[in-house]
Copies of this chain bind each other. A is one copy, B any other.
Amino acid sequence: MARREPLNREKVLDAALALADSEGLDGLTMRKLAKTLGVEAMALYNHVSNKADILDGIAERVMADIPSADPALPWAERVRTLALGMYRAYRVHPVVPLAMVSDQANPASPAALRPVEALAGAFVEAGFDDDGLRWAVGAVNSLVFGSLLLITSGFGTAPPGPEQLEPFAGVDPAELPHFSRLLGALRRLDPEKDFERALDVLIAGLEAAAAGKSPGGSTRR
């Protein structure tokens, strides 16, 4: 059998993303990743500078999958498209939002800035002033990241995965009647649908704010 052709950065990142998807952020270790590639852990350092570089690399890849919004669309539609695009891209690779939120991936990479720039552009067009801009971008980002992070944790908005509901098996319906109802409804959850509903509410509020109504504060320029 011929000697395996050499590694390169792309192959390392491919394998790292695959490993992180299947094993989670904690399961992504240099040693396991190396084994996946049929190599010793130290060989990886010829192609990436360290683990943080790997996390940055996979984050950039996933963020590159976020579609940009047609600039011809009205700003509110662009916001919707962008937020949904972020949600969908991160949903496939939940390690990435988790890495960002735990400070293990660079928040200032060009790939990370692109969707935020587009979001901000939409709000500028809507007429938000600087404070309104900050608030609006923060609100959308919070909803996107919060929806994603709670999905994987089984807390709050859990996915249909039944083993994820297992920790709640012991709740007494007599003691927590409302939560028990919620638990039943979680079995029918389509996370993206619920996210879209919340997003539409938020965008409606942003439109009202842009039109000068409360609760949005000073906005018209």
Contact = CB atoms under 8 A, between A and B. Distances in A.
Contact of A142 (B124, B146, B171): B146
Given A107-B167, A167-B108, A186 B134 contact: yes
B100 A101 contact: no
A138 to B, nearest CB: 3
A100 B102 CA distance: 12
A21 B205 CA distance: 35
B117 A150 contact: no
A23 to B, nearest CB: 13
B147 A149 contact: no
A201 B216 contact: yes
Contact of A156 (B137, B157, B188, B201): B137
Interface residues on A, range: 35 or more
A60 B188 CA distance: 29
A153 B101 contact: yes
Contact of A198 (B176, B195, B202): B202
A137 B183 CA distance: 11
Contacts of A168: 107-108
Contacts of A198: 135, 138-139, 142-143, 202
B182 A133 contact: yes
**8 nearest interchain CB pairs?**
A146-B146, A201-B205, A142-B146, A138-B157, A120-B178, A107-B155, A141-B156, A139-B198
6 contacts: A113-B176, A130-B185, A134-B185, A141-B156, A142-B143, A198-B202
Interface of A: 24-26, 98, 100-103, 106-108, 112-113, 116-117, 120-121, 123-124, 130-131, 133-135, 137-139, 141-147, 149-150, 152-157, 167-168, 170-171, 176, 178-179, 181-182, 184-186, 188-189, 194-195, 197-198, 200-202, 204-206, 208-209, 215-217
